[in-house]
Amino acid sequence: MKQFCLSLLLIFNLFGAAGSQNIKQAPKTEAQTSIAFVNVNVVPMDRERVLAGQTVIVRDGRIAVIGPAEKTKIPADARRIDGRGKYLMPGLVDMHVHLLPGAGNPDDLAGQQLELFLANGVTTVRNMIGKPEHLTLRDRVAKGELPGPTIFTAGAPLLGNTVPTPEAAERVVLEQKQAGYDLVKVHEGLSPEAYAAIVATAKRVGIPIAGHVTETVGLERALAAHQTSIEHLDGYIRAIVRSDSPAQAPPGQIILGPVLNYVDEKKIPGVVRATKVAEVWNTPTLALFKLIVSDEQVNELLKRPELTYVPPKMRAAFAQQVQGTREVPPPLNERRRFTELRDMLVRELRKAGAKLLVGSDSPQFFLVPGFATHRELQSFVEAGLTPYEALEAATRNPAEYFAQFMHTPLDFGTVEVGKRADLILLEANPLESLSHLQRRAGVMVRGRWLPQSELQSMLDQLEARYRAPAP
C-alpha cells in the first residue's frame, strides 16, 4: 500500500489557484442583541447530564442567563426560540482540518468550506497547514466580516527538507511566531536535532507545537518534548512492537506487514501512562485511516451524499487518492489488525484519562468538511467510547486544549453562563445516540443564530453549483 502522508498536496495542487482572491467586505454577521432559547433541555457537557426545562438567554455573543424556564425572566426585546422537546449543546470543534484557498467569499472554496462547517454545527476549527491568506481569513471571521467557525491556524508544516538543520528550524519557528500563527506543525522527515531546535525555540517564544511523530523522532522523544498534540496516533504502534522483533515496522504511518505479529499489547498501558503524565493530547483521525485500509471501492465512496456539495474536481482528486492505496492491497487480516490496534489505543487513552480530540483531516479521501467531523465522532463510538465521551473530545476537550497551550480564555466548549454562544439546537438527545446530531433545528456561532432553513439553503446552493455528475 502506497504511503499517503503527502497525498494532501494533490488537493492543494488542484485548487491552489481556485476561487476568487478579491476580498469583499461582507456586512457584519455577529450576534443579534438578545436571543432566548425558551424551555429547552440543556446538554452542558461539563459532565454527563441533561438540565431539563431551561431558558438560555444569549446577549452580545455570550451566554448571559441559564435558569428554570418558569423562573427566568426574558427581556422584552429578546428574540424567542421555542426549545420545547429540543436539546441545546455546545458547538462542535474539529481539531484537524485543512483550509482551502480563497478569501472566504461565497464563490471561492474557502468560503464554501466555512459554510460546510457551519451547516454541520462545527463552530471552531484548528487548521493544520496554514498560509498567510488563512491568517486573514481567521481575522475576518473573528471580526464578524465573514460567517464561519472560529479559526486557529498553524503555519506551513516543518519538514525534513524545509528545515534540514537546527538553525533552519529555529529560523522558521521564529518567522511563524512573528507572522501570527497560533501553532507550529511538525511533519515528516525531521532529524532529532532539528526537532529539538523546534521544541526549544517554540518554548522560548511561546508558541505550541503539534503534528506528526515519524520514525526519525519517535514517540518517546515527542512525549519528553511535551508536544501538545500528536496527530493520527503517530508513533504508538511502533512503540508497542517487541524489542526482539525480527521484523521492522515500515516507514510512514500505515503499519502493516509481519511486524504486526510482534506487537505486544502488554506495552500499551506503559505508553498510555507516559502520554498522560506528559500531558500530550491525541487527535487519532480514526475515520481517515479506516477508509485508507478498507476494501471500500471508489464507485461506492462516490455515492456518499455529502459529495454533492464539493466540486467535481475535488471528487476526482479524492478518487485518485483512494486508487493509489488500492493498487496492491495488503492482506485483510493485517488491515483489520491495524484498525483494531488503533481503536484499542483510543480506548486505553480515554480510560487512563489521557485527553483525546476529534479531528477529521478533511478535505481528503472522500472526507468532506463538516460531514467528516460527524464521521470521526461515530468512529470514536465504534472504537468503544460512549456518545458522551466522543462528544467531549469535540466540545469541552478542545476548549481546554486551547486554554492550556495557547492561553486563550476557557470560554467555549460547554453551555455555561459567560461562555461564548457557540451552540447547536437538536430535536433529540445526542447523549443517547450520535445520530441525533443530524436532527438539527439550528446552529449558533458567536451569538449569531442560523436556523436550519438557512443552513439547508447554504447546502442547496452548493449542490446547485456542483450538480455535475461524479467522475
The pLDDT assigned to 32 comes to 53
Consecutive H or E run containing 429: none
Q: What's the full length of the chain, in residues?
A: 471
pLDDT digits (tens, 9 = 90+) for 48-61: 999 999 999 999 99
Residues 2, 83: Cα–Cα separation, whole Å? 50
251 sits in the region (left: phi over 0; alpha: psi -120 to 50; else beta) called beta
Q: Smallest Cα–Cα separation from 162: which of 180, 178, 183, 184?
A: 184
Domains of the chain (ranges, CATH numbers): 8-19+91-414 (3.20.20.140)
Residues 257, 328: Cα–Cα separation, whole Å? 13
Residues 465, 444: Cα–Cα separation, whole Å? 25
Q: What is the mean pLDDT of each run of 10 residues along the chain (471 residues)?
A: 52 53 42 86 99 98 98 96 98 99 93 98 99 98 97 98 98 99 98 98 98 96 98 98 95 94 98 98 99 95 98 97 85 96 99 99 98 99 99 99 96 98 99 99 98 98 82 49
pLDDT digits (tens, 9 = 90+) for 19-43: 444 444 444 444 457 999 999 999 9
> Which residue in the block uniquely carries the three cell numbers 441545546?
88
User: pTM value?
Assistant: 0.95
Residues 373, 327: Cα–Cα separation, whole Å? 28
β-pair type (62-68, 51-59): antiparallel
**Residue 365 CA, distance from chain mean position:** 15
Residues 140, 153: Cα–Cα separation, whole Å? 13
**Angle (nearest 5°) at CA 121 between 117 and 125:** 50
Residues 6+ away with beta carbon under 8 Å from 401: 95, 228, 229, 281, 355, 357
The pLDDT assigned to 28 comes to 43
The pLDDT assigned to 325 comes to 87
Strands (E), 212-338: 229-231, 281-283
Strands (E), 340-432: 423-426
The pLDDT assigned to 329 comes to 80
Task: Give, as one character, the DSSP assignment of residue 199.
Answer: H
